[in-house]
Amino acid sequence: MLGFIPWLFGHSVTEFQFKALVVLFLQTICVSSSSNEGLLRGFSAVPDSSVTSFQAFLSDHTGNFSLGFLRVDRTQLALAVLHVPSSQPFWLANPTRLARWSDSTRLSFNGSLVISDPHEGVLWSTGTTGDSVLLLNTSNLQVQSDGDPPSVLWQSFDFPTDSLVENQNFTSSMSLVSSNGLYSLRLGDDFMGLYANFLHSDSDSEQVIYWKHKALEVKAQIVEGGGPLYALVNTDGYLGMYQYQTSSKPMDVQKFDSFQRSNISFLMVRIEPDGNLNGYYWDGSKWALNYQAIAETCELLSPCGSYGLCKPGGSGSGCSCLDNRTSYQSGTGCFDERQQGYGDFCGQAVAENNYWVLRRKGVEAPDKEFLSYETLSSVEQCESLCEKNCSCWGALYNNANGFCYSVDYPIQTMSGTGDESKVGFFKVRNSPPGKKKRSIGVVVGVVVGSVVLIAIIGIGLAIAGYLRWKTKGAIRQDGISLSPGPYKNLGSSSFSYAESK
């Protein structure tokens, strides 16, 4: 109950700060001069030490989009295409290899757009021999060569970051990765899926699917040999899946709330730090939520962090811990994330003693349809199966039908069901495995996740964003990511969660 007080307080402060900070931020952008003529060979730019957030040098002709240096975590730099009115980055050149915000870092165009630094050499390059760099009114950045018509040698649309704007082709060789590096969207032969990334070791990771949408083939059949699927956000208000040979008609349509509404100006989808895939439209002042792949918070993989318990709807809803002796703290999960975060129990000296067992009734896995299971006649058999298998982190048994599901990745959040016949068995690590102490995604997470630190704005606006969500009666989201990046905070600032009808 007392928990509400800071929220209420946060509200009044934030609404005020929100406007002030937005004005401040937009001024910063406008101060930097930028052209919309395109960059020619010989262009070069270095970061300006007085710029605190974004240094623009190229705009599209509408002024809606800008290419420039985005300051990340105060000291780092990403080359970004920003949606100017919301200061939302749509694309980053080098999310996993940020440059330093220092006057030795240089962006140049010599036919290739190149980010370099005298210490590290070339950090990123388009590897082209072009004549100009243009930013289109779709937010697509292109390197073109002269000619009639000019040819496109490289485009940012082919290297999406975490977002897809309308009419941007998403193919099976691409992936969208959430800003904290934990989740990704990819296409399969006849479906699109959301995957979580779990590190096995410092170099090896495992991708686990937790949401799958199969092409329904309502409007067109998938043609054998017709090439792989691709997806795009159609301006009619849906996320469509297409096949190259028959590209005019979608195989599948996931409708947005604005489906076939004509007054919608600009659509995008983004994979969020909580692992959801959200669609938005630009309503002229903010991004309004238009679509969610996963509608219920408790159906996300980790809304309450590791070893969390998510209770949907009504009274008592929200986050707690699977271990009823541990109190839930948002952002850190229920046990030390670093200790629990990755790998398995195999190949360790004293296998029996390196974990203890936690049991909880009335829980089930949100992704159980993707877990392997066997039918067994007792919960003891189910537990013993997991206990004997060093790659098993936990097992969930359903006394009603005898299904025994096993979880072979670090335990995330379980969803609470009122049903006491569903029981969970979970291994909890006693001590970190060897010296390797990295939680899932921290490697990528730290790098990508901190992609958009705009320090002051981030904090103020994050509270505003959370508050909107909070008032919608949803569960607080800040326990979701293991390395909650400021990117997410910035994101929630200009993204509203439209009231559901």
Ligand X SMILES: *[C@@H]1O[C@H](CO)[C@@H](O)[C@H](O)[C@H]1NC(C)=O
Query: What is the SS3 assignment for 130?
Result: coil
The stretch among 30-38, 106-114, 233-241, 272-280 that binds ligand X (CB under 6 A) is: 106-114
Q: Alpha helices of 409-485 — where are they, by DSSP H?
A: 442-449, 455-471
User: How many residues are present in the chain?
Assistant: 501
* Nearest in space to 291 (alpha carbons), one of 305, 271, 306: 271
Residue holding tokens 């007054």?
A: 263
Using the rule CB under 6 A, is 245 a contact of ligand X? no
* Nearest in space to 38 (alpha carbons), one of 145, 111, 133: 133
Nearest-Å Rg of the Cα atoms of the chain is: 24
Using the rule CB under 6 A, is 111 a contact of ligand X? yes
- 486-494 helix and 442-449 helix, angle to the nearest 10 degrees: 50
Using the rule CB under 6 A, is 110 a contact of ligand X? yes
Burial class (CB in 10 A: 0-12, 13-18, 19+), 19: exposed
Alpha carbon 138 to its chain centroid, in Å, reads: 22
C-alpha separations of 120 from 74, 97, 100, 108, 443 in Å: 19, 11, 10, 15, 20
Please report how close the Cβ of residue 282 comes to ligand X at its closest, in angstroms.
4
Using the rule CB under 6 A, is 114 a contact of ligand X? yes
Residue holding tokens 């703290």?
A: 329
Considering only 17, 94, 340, 406, the residue that binds ligand X (CB under 6 A) is 406
Considering only 282, 425, 426, 469, the residue that binds ligand X (CB under 6 A) is 282
Using the rule CB under 6 A, is 284 a contact of ligand X? yes
Considering only 157, 211, 328, 393, the residue that binds ligand X (CB under 6 A) is 157
Applying the rule CB under 6 A, the residues between 190 and 229 that interact with ligand X are: none
Please report how close the Cβ of residue 243 comes to ligand X at its closest, in angstroms.
10
Please report how close the Cβ of residue 55 comes to ligand X at its closest, in angstroms.
20
* Nearest in space to 210 (alpha carbons), one of 73, 371, 333: 371
Using the rule CB under 6 A, is 473 a contact of ligand X? no
**Nearer Cβ to ligand X (316/473):** 316
Strands 277-282 and 267-271: antiparallel
Token pair, residue 257, equals 């709330």
Query: Cα separation of 210 and 412, whole Å?
Result: 12
* Nearest in space to 106 (alpha carbons), one of 121, 92, 90, 95: 121
Using the rule CB under 6 A, is 117 a contact of ligand X? no
The stretch among 178-186, 347-355, 375-383, 388-396 that binds ligand X (CB under 6 A) is: 388-396
Please report how close the Cβ of residue 126 comes to ligand X at its closest, in angstroms.
10
Residues in contact with 442: Cβ distance below 8 Å, sequence separation at least 6, in sequence order: 199, 341, 482, 483
Query: Cα separation of 422 and 397, whole Å?
Result: 6
Please report how close the Cβ of residue 131 comes to ligand X at its closest, in angstroms.
11
Using the rule CB under 6 A, is 137 a contact of ligand X? yes
Applying the rule CB under 6 A, the residues between 365 and 384 that interact with ligand X are: 372
- Taking CB under 6 A as the rule, which mask of x and - marks residues 428-467 in contact with ligand X? ----------------------------------------
The stretch among 3-11, 19-27, 67-75, 110-118 that binds ligand X (CB under 6 A) is: 110-118
Please report how close the Cβ of residue 129 comes to ligand X at its closest, in angstroms.
5
Using the rule CB under 6 A, is 391 a contact of ligand X? yes
Query: Cα separation of 321 and 327, whole Å?
Result: 6
Using the rule CB under 6 A, is 392 a contact of ligand X? yes
Number of residues that bind ligand X (CB under 6 A): 26
Using the rule CB under 6 A, is 169 a contact of ligand X? yes
Applying the rule CB under 6 A, the residues between 331 and 350 that interact with ligand X are: none
**Nearer Cβ to ligand X (179/406):** 406
Using the rule CB under 6 A, is 144 a contact of ligand X? no
In this structure, are residues 402 and 373 in contact, taking their beta carbons and an 8 Å threshold?
no
Please report how close the Cβ of residue 106 comes to ligand X at its closest, in angstroms.
9
The stretch among 4-12, 109-117, 298-306, 481-489 that binds ligand X (CB under 6 A) is: 109-117
Using the rule CB under 6 A, is 235 a contact of ligand X? no
Considering only 10, 47, 68, 85, the residue that binds ligand X (CB under 6 A) is 85
Token pair, residue 33, equals 């001069």
**Nearer Cβ to ligand X (80/463):** 80
Please report how close the Cβ of residue 452 comes to ligand X at its closest, in angstroms.
18
Query: What is the SS3 assignment for 455?
Result: helix
Burial 366-392, CB ≥16 within 10 A → b, else e: bbbeebebeebeebeebbebbbeeeeb
Using the rule CB under 6 A, is 175 a contact of ligand X? no
Token pair, residue 379, equals 């919960």
C-alpha separations of 382 from 115, 174, 428, 429 in Å: 54, 39, 17, 20
Please report how close the Cβ of residue 449 comes to ligand X at its closest, in angstroms.
26
Using the rule CB under 6 A, is 12 a contact of ligand X? no
Token pair, residue 493, equals 């600032």
Applying the rule CB under 6 A, the residues between 49 and 78 that interact with ligand X are: 62, 64
**Nearer Cβ to ligand X (361/437):** 361
Prior bond of 228 cis (ω within 30°)? no
Residues forming contacts to ligand X in the complex (CB under 6 A) are: 62, 64, 85, 110-112, 114, 116, 122, 129, 137, 157, 169, 244, 247, 265-266, 282, 284, 324, 372, 389, 391-392, 406, 408
